[in-house]
Amino acid sequence: MADYQHHWKDGNPIHLPLGKIVCIGRNYAEHARELNNPIPDEPLLFIKPATSAVHITRPITPPQGFGAVHFETELAVLIGQPLSHASETEAAGAILGYGLALDLTLRDVQSKLKDKGHPWERAKAFDGACPLSPFVDANDLPQGHLTFSLDINGERQQTGDTRDMLVPILPLITHISHHFTLLPGDVVLTGTPAGVGPLTSGQRLSLELENALFVETTVA
């Protein structure tokens, strides 16, 4: 929230303001199927405000009184240059780093909103709804595809591979930039693979990105 600051994985701050957090829904077919959702014809975009961001290593405190709170593990892309109507080459040059995020979702609230055809922000934009990891310099990760995972209490819960994305990273960022400008410090969440589920008190969550980033958190 107000005290959130982007950091590199070595602990050094990234001197960029946190702007908007742009999210894509249903970017992995298996996740869409597990929630009985149709697969979209184009990227399904929504935005989390800066106030939803918290450091992922702090204990997660799910909001009370709104039903189930689900975790959705996602690859996070940190934008380092302004992008508007960008090409894929320009998008590639604007990626400063990669990290991991939890797109926390009030699932019961979201289901009611979907039934009414309403936007999802009440379910996705609450304070603390976007725990973010430190970032790894994009130049320090392999070109091509990236993999990431979530373990809960030592057991594998989610495994993501960018090769399974319906819309890959560069076309996704390009698409976003043709609808609204991305600014330095903005973060793009690229969708979650199958395996989402509810948070429960006392869970220990371990997230890993390409053997280059490892973070842990707990549920209060």
Above pLDDT 70, what percent of the chain?
Answer: 98
Q: What is the pLDDT of residue 2?
A: 58
In-domain check, residue 100: yes
In-domain check, residue 11: no
In-domain check, residue 205: yes
Q: Mean pLDDT over residues 90-117, rounded?
A: 95
Residue 91 has pLDDT above 70, yes or no: yes
- 80 lies in which domain range? 21-218
Stated pTM of the model: 0.95
Residue 135's Cα: distance from chain center in Å?
12
In-domain check, residue 14: no
Reference 205, options 150, 163, 138, 156; nearest CA is 150
Cβ atoms within 10 Å, residue 7 = 17
pLDDT band at 4 (very low <50, low <70, confident <90, very high): very high
Q: Out of 74-83, 111-120, 205-214, pick the least confident.
A: 111-120
Burial of 11 from C-beta contacts in 10 A (0-12 / 13-18 / 19+): exposed
- Provide φ and ψ at 52, rounded to 5°: -85, -15
In-domain check, residue 72: yes
Within the chain, where are the H helices?
29-34, 88-94, 107-116, 121-124, 169-177
- Take residue 49 and report the two structure tokens written for it: 């405000």
Q: What is the pLDDT of residue 217?
A: 98
In-domain check, residue 1: no
Residue 51 has pLDDT above 90, yes or no: yes
Dihedral over alpha carbons 104, 150, 12, 173 (to 10 degrees): -60
The structural domain count of the chain equals: 1
* Separation in Å, CA 198 to CA 90, 102, 105, 152, 206: 38, 12, 9, 11, 15
Reference 82, options 171, 185, 189, 175; nearest CA is 185
Mean pLDDT score across all residues of the chain: 94
pLDDT tens profile 114-149: 899 999 899 999 999 999 999 999 999 988 899 999
In-domain check, residue 124: yes
Q: What is the pLDDT of residue 200?
A: 96
CA distance 166 to 27: 5
pLDDT tens profile 165-185: 999 999 999 999 999 999 999
Dihedral over alpha carbons 135, 136, 141, 145 (to 10 degrees): -10
Q: What is the pLDDT of residue 38?
A: 76
Residue 87 has pLDDT above 90, yes or no: yes
In-domain check, residue 210: yes
Residue 195's Cα: distance from chain center in Å?
15
Q: What is the pLDDT of residue 31?
A: 73
**Which residues, other chains included, contact 61 with Cβ-Cβ below 8 Å and sequence gap of 6+?**
128, 220
Q: Out of 1-15, 84-98, 122-136, 183-197, pick the least confident.
A: 1-15
- Take residue 189 and report the two structure tokens written for it: 């969440």
Q: Mean pLDDT over residues 46-74, rounded?
A: 96
Q: What is the pLDDT of residue 32?
A: 61
What CATH number is attached to the domain comprising 213? Answer: 3.90.850.10
